[in-house]
């Protein structure tokens, strides 16, 4: 697959992101704010009946994007949006700080960025686009001054798993990109880390 460009989700690209996620907001009306919202707020948004289901999540992502915070990167093929990766400073993801399984070991560590999600339409999967988005996320975080990029992949032991279960990426994918993967000291869930800048 040839990707024309991978670009930051800046305010003028909001319509592209909205089109890419479609009426269901990517994964089950999530709008890629699962890690950005408090659990009760996120749950309330997806518990509504249509057409309100996910509307508060969509509005949260729209507000972040239009405020210029750059919540992630959009891949384009022939001018059409075809993929997404959510990458931003770790403190932007409130759910990480409250999670037993993903809570930072050193919450005061400076310059940590987090990659929390990939979204690829079904026909774009298993063609290398995720790896291209990962490479772009590494360069984006580095260019913005990140010292470490952290991610929370799923260990599929080299096999396949349903896409909805591996939206955070796989251990193998991150290891191929140079990340070290170690178990979280409490949950033993894999945490992938890559040093972007040496002190």
Domain 5-195 -> CATH class? alpha beta
pLDDT attached to residue 159: 67
pLDDT attached to residue 28: 86
pLDDT attached to residue 74: 96
pLDDT attached to residue 83: 93
pLDDT attached to residue 125: 74
- What are the per-10-residue average pLDDT scores of the chain (199 residues)? 82 96 88 93 89 92 95 93 96 92 89 95 77 96 97 82 76 95 91 88
Domain ranges of the chain: 5-195
- Note the pTM of the prediction, 2 decimals: 0.92
Q: 95-102: long-range contacts at Cβ-Cβ below 8 A with a sequence spacing of 24 or more?
A: 95/34, 95/35, 95/36, 95/37, 95/38, 95/39, 95/42, 96/35, 98/38, 98/39, 100/186, 100/187, 101/184, 101/186, 101/187, 101/189, 102/152, 102/184, 102/187, 102/189, 102/191
């Amino acid at each position: 697959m040839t990707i024309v460009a991978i670009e930051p989700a800046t305010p003028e690209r909001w319509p592209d992101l909205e089109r890419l996620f479609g009426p269901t907001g990517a994964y089950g009306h999530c709008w890629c704010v699962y890690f950005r919202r408090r659990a009760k707020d996120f749950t309330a948004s997806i518990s509504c009946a249509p057409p309100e289901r996910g509307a508060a999540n969509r509005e949260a992502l729209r507000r972040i994007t239009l405020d210029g915070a750059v919540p992630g990167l959009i891949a384009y093929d022939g001018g059409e949006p075809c993929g997404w990766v959510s990458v931003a400073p770790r403190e932007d993801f409130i759910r990480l700080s409250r999670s037993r399984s993903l809570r930072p070991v050193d919450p005061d560590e400076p310059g940590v960025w987090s990659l929390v999600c990939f979204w690829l339409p079904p026909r774009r999967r298993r063609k290398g686009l995720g790896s291209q988005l990962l490479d772009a996320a590494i360069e984006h975080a580095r260019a913005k001054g990140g010292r470490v990029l952290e991610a929370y992949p799923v260990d599929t032991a080299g096999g396949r798993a349903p896409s909805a279960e591996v939206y955070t990426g796989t251990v193998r994918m991150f290891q191929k990109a140079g990340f070290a993967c170690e178990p979280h000291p409490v949950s033993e869930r894999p945490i992938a880390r890559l040093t972007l800048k040496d002190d």
